[in-house]
Chain A
Amino acid sequence: MKRLLVLVALLVGFLGTPVLADGLGPVIPKATGEAHPEGNLFMRINHMNLMKHDRDETVLKGDREISHSLKACIDCHVVNGDDGEPVSVKSEKHFCVVCHEFAAVKVDCFQCHNSKPQITTEALLKPELADANDIATYLKEAEE
Chain B
Amino acid sequence: MNLPALKFSKKPGEMSRRDLLKSGGALATVTLAPGVTLMAFGGEATAAADPGKRWGLLIDVNKCDKGCTECVTACSKENGWKDTGHPETDAQWIRKVDLKDMATGREISAPVMCQHCEDAPCIDVCPTSASFKRPDGIVLVDKHACIGCRYCMMACPYKARSFIHEDLEDQKAHAPRGKGTVESCTLCVHRVDAGGTPACVEACNTTGHGAMMFGDLNDPESEIAKALASYPSVALRDDLRLNPGVRYSNL
Contacts and interface: CB of A to CB of B under 8 A. Distances in A.
Chain B interface SS verdict (over half) = loop
B171 interface: yes
Contact of B194 (A112, A118, A136): A136
A57 B193 CA distance: 13
B112 interface: no
B125 interface: no
B181 A134 contact: no
Contacts of A63: 46-49
Nearest to B177: A112
B177 A64 contact: no
A64 B174 CA distance: 11
- Category for how many chain B residues contact A: 20 to 34
A64 B170 CA distance: 22
A65 B46 contact: yes
Contacts, number: 72
Interface stretch (B60-68, B131-139, B152-160, B221-229): B131-139
B124 to A, nearest CB: 18
B172 to A, nearest CB: 7
Interface string B40-56: 00000011110000000
Contacts of B196: 136
Given A113-B176, A136-B194, A60 B143 contact: no
Interface in A89-144: 111-114, 116-118, 134-137, 140
Contacts of B194: 64, 134, 136-137, 140
